[in-house]
Amino acid sequence: MATAAKSHLVEWSTLSGFRVGDWETWVAHCQKRQKPASLERVCNGARPLLWGLPNSILAENRKTLRRLADLHAGMSAVSKKDAEFLQQLPDAFGTKEPSLSALVLANGVAGAMPALTEVVTEEAWCQALNTIYQIALDVLGNPDRLLGQLANEILITIAYQFPELNHSQDIWETSLEYWTTSLQEMLDSDGAVQAAYCKLLPLLLATWTRVHQLSPVSALGEEIELTQIWEWFLRYNLRLLRRDGTSMLAEPGIPYCLELYQAAVSTSTDKQDRVIARQVLPGGNPKRKKPKDISEEGVFSEWAGLGVLQQDWSARSPRLAVAVQGESMQIEICRGIELLKLEGFPDVSINGKRLQPSGSWEEIATHFDEDIDYLELEMLFSDQVRVQRQILLLQDDEVIMVADSVFAESKERIDYQNQLQLGPAVSCLQETENNEIYLQQKKICALLLPLGLSEWKSQRFDNCFLAAQGSIKLCQSIYGKTLYAPLMINVNPKESIKPRTWRSLTVAEKLEIVEHDTARSYRVRIGNRQWIIYKSFAAPGNRTFFGQNKNGDFFIGRMEEDGNVEELLSLEL
């Protein structure tokens, strides 16, 4: 072995019959050995190395990664081009901070190293192995935990590929400990991953699944709590799937891979995960029958900043995903396909002065049951202005509401704007005389009602609901201490085309009508369905609206055929 390439990592163990410098014996061994099995066989999939990769990485290295995956699986013979690639590898990585793309490439090289012994020199082979090993070690301490997971997988791939190495057992132990520690630090007790990692969630799932599958023993050991966290994390990934298998909240351009989710779910001991997977994974069961009724209430983790409001596990089930990072909030509304996306924070001005957030979104209330999923958060803006955001899903009605409340210190001119982005396959259809907008994908698929505005359009541009190119803008203004901007979204296509109307209701306290700064109430009708909504902005009081008498902060109910109102949610904060 060349002196420059010597490392404790690449000294073959004399217990395996190899001597330092016996390169020919090592090459012959690598070509003839039957174990370890290829990654493809272990994960029961084609090219697992490519799972979860964004198109940005695939476009840059697609041919190389496919080639490395094929070499790893023994699907093709090595060539001189492979030898040239390996010799250039140290220069290719250079001294720059490794990127996601570089780490994925290094992991592919680690998997193909046994096959590459056939066409390269001992020095080039050892230098390449030491290069990717050192890269992985250097990245483990990177504050970007996703980079750390990919680096850790490189070490695990090396240990898996070369059990003959003296220190492979040490690598296994430290790498698996790093992985289990990462699960505890990046996930909460219910498996919710920190919102920062949602954009590349399929990539994180892929690397963790491969680690789990490659482990010679149970990667989670006998820790029941850690096993449950892992399985809840798998359930979160299933929650976030759209009808085409792509992940909500993730960046565009991460292709769906059925084998990834099948491999991930196969690691779960919970049989219900397999039942759910058969229902939600496109291509998993071509003869899929109507999904069984597996109830699933919504979830939200304030620690992770991640939540999902959902009706059930059917492919077209209404679903709302929310990711919160400091002052930024991302909301995606989906019914099979992505319908709407809301990102950032609302534009709020007081007396013409645009305000900036001075805090982070914090949870105020959550409520999840078989009727309604409800989430409320609050953030402080400059000049002591507060913004509260209510997010709810009425499961049986397939209705979603996102409502912002602005609280000023005194009566001022409040201007509010918010912009929703349309899904890539969705367009808008706007009424000419009414403040309502349809979403359509070939046919109408949803209806949006801005309850804080009049049903009929006015000439005021500071109170408008407009469809622009690829987006919808809601603008409201008022002189007062509070502004309320509730947006109701009906995602039932059949109901969306039925007649609808809404109006503001009178709210009274002690037989006197209260001002809007005290409380507001609305009545909404779509087809034969009607709802009553009430929101308090002042100290609790015994108030009456539409025959209801409430003392709380928020109420929503459904009108029954006999005229009574069924309470869906009543909150006292």
| DSSP letters spanning 326-394 | TTEEEEEEEESEEEEEE-S--EEEETTEEP-B-S--EEEEEEESSSEEEEEEEEEBGGG-EEEEEEEEE
pLDDT higher than 60, residue 2: no
Interatomic CA distance for residues 115 and 31, integer angstroms? 7
Alpha helices in 118-200 (DSSP H): 122-139, 145-161, 168-186
Phi, psi of 314 (to 5 degrees): -70, 155
Residue 325 identity (one-letter amino acid):
Q
- Confidence at residue 16, expressed as pLDDT on a 0 to 100 scale: 42
| Sign of the torsion angle spanned by Cα atoms 424, 426, 432, 437 | negative
Nearest C-alpha neighbor of 26 from the set 141, 226, 148, 165: 165
Interatomic CA distance for residues 434 and 454, integer angstroms? 8
- Looking at per-residue pLDDT, the higher value among 28 and 264 belongs to 264
Interatomic CA distance for residues 482 and 471, integer angstroms? 26
- Confidence at residue 458, expressed as pLDDT on a 0 to 100 scale: 74
- Confidence at residue 195, expressed as pLDDT on a 0 to 100 scale: 96
- The angle formed by the CA atoms of residues 370, 374 and 378, to the nearest 5 degrees, is 165
Provide, rounded to the nearest whole percent, the portion of the chain with pLDDT above 90: 61
pLDDT higher than 80, residue 270: yes
- Confidence at residue 139, expressed as pLDDT on a 0 to 100 scale: 92
- Confidence at residue 9, expressed as pLDDT on a 0 to 100 scale: 45
pLDDT higher than 50, residue 10: no
pLDDT higher than 90, residue 6: no
- Confidence at residue 152, expressed as pLDDT on a 0 to 100 scale: 95
Nearest C-alpha neighbor of 228 from the set 267, 196, 278, 198: 267
pLDDT higher than 50, residue 111: yes
- Confidence at residue 196, expressed as pLDDT on a 0 to 100 scale: 94
DSSP 543: E
Cβ-defined contacts of 135-141 (< 8 Å, 24+): 135/93, 135/98, 135/102, 135/103, 135/106, 136/103, 136/106, 138/98, 139/98, 139/103, 140/178
Burial 202-240 (b: 16+ CB within 10 A, else e): bbbbbbbbbbbbbbeeebbeeeeebbbbbbbbbbbbbbb
- The angle formed by the CA atoms of residues 237, 239 and 243, to the nearest 5 degrees, is 100
Confidence of residue 247 (pLDDT cuts 50, 70, 90): very high
Confidence of residue 45 (pLDDT cuts 50, 70, 90): confident
pLDDT higher than 90, residue 325: yes
DSSP 472: E
Confidence of residue 452 (pLDDT cuts 50, 70, 90): very high
Confidence of residue 129 (pLDDT cuts 50, 70, 90): confident
pLDDT higher than 60, residue 153: yes
- Looking at per-residue pLDDT, the higher value among 375 and 458 belongs to 375
* Span 533-565, pLDDT tens digits: 999 999 888 999 998 999 999 999 999 988 899
- Say if residues 414 and 483 touch (Cβ distance below 8 Å): yes
pLDDT higher than 80, residue 5: no
Mean pLDDT of all residues in the chain? 88
Structural domains in the chain plus CATH codes:
3-194+204-232 (no CATH), 299-494 (2.70.98.70)
- Looking at per-residue pLDDT, the higher value among 349 and 172 belongs to 349
- Confidence at residue 219, expressed as pLDDT on a 0 to 100 scale: 64
Give the CA dihedral 211, 217, 222, 223, nearest 10 degrees: -10
* Span 380-396, pLDDT tens digits: 999 999 999 999 999 99
pLDDT higher than 70, residue 20: no
Phi-psi group of 470: left, alpha or beta (phi > 0 → left; psi -120 to 50 → alpha; rest → beta)? left
Mean pLDDT (whole number) for 471-500: 96
pLDDT higher than 80, residue 91: no
Confidence of residue 163 (pLDDT cuts 50, 70, 90): confident
- Confidence at residue 222, expressed as pLDDT on a 0 to 100 scale: 67
Of 73-77, 175-179, 362-366, 464-468, where does mean pLDDT reach its minimum?
73-77
- Confidence at residue 19, expressed as pLDDT on a 0 to 100 scale: 47
Give whole-number Cα distances, 277 to 199, 245, 258, 268, 336, in Å. 21, 11, 10, 11, 15
- Say if residues 404 and 385 touch (Cβ distance below 8 Å): no
Mean pLDDT (whole number) for 194-222: 88
Confidence of residue 96 (pLDDT cuts 50, 70, 90): low
In this structure, what token pair is assigned to residue 403? 């409502």
Mean pLDDT (whole number) for 88-115: 81
